[in-house]
Amino acid sequence: MPGILKLVILGTCLLGFVESASAQEKAAAPVGSWRGSVVTFDLGSDGKFSYKDAETAKLTGSWQWLPTTQFGGVLELTSSAPGSPNKLRFPIAWMNKNTLRFCDANDHCDTLSRQEAPSARRPGS
């Protein structure tokens, strides 16, 4: 009986390790300022966002990151404006640490680049 108990405990520990490793393999949230040819958005570490594209007035509200793979996920925006759609979802794929691919519901995609925070810019640059 003690051997079976040890096996059950070991199996439970290994399962927990595998689950935590899988969670670590998911893509990180794209926190920061991003700019593309059509879309611009800022995702604050406080869960607030601002979003602007060529066809939509600027939106603000709260955001959530739903990682789906090691290289991407879905950005879910909830606008604070009355009468706005409940949630907007945008698939995002990381290309590298400073570039991502952002697509809308109509499968129009834009490549966005990370922008430096204003306080991090050097004078004259």
Q: Is residue 102 part of a domain?
A: yes
Total domain count for the chain?
1
For the segment 47-99, what is each residue's pLDDT rounded down to a tens digit? 999 999 887 778 899 999 999 999 999 999 999 988 877 788 999 999 999 99
Question: What count of residues does the chain have?
Answer: 125
Mean pLDDT along residues 24-35: 92
Contact 71, 27 (CB under 8 A): yes
Residue 42 is part of which domain span? 28-120
So what's the pLDDT on residue 107?
Answer: 86
Whether the Cβ atoms of residue 111 and residue 96 lie closer than 8 Å to each other: no
Residues 6+ apart with CB under 8 A from 78: 61, 62, 63, 64, 86, 87, 88
CATH at 99:
2.40.128.540
Higher per-residue pLDDT: 118 or 59: 59
Q: For 32-48, write each residue's pLDDT tens digit.
A: 999 999 999 999 999 99
81 within some domain: yes
pLDDT at 100 over 70: yes
Q: Do the domain assignments include residue 1?
A: no
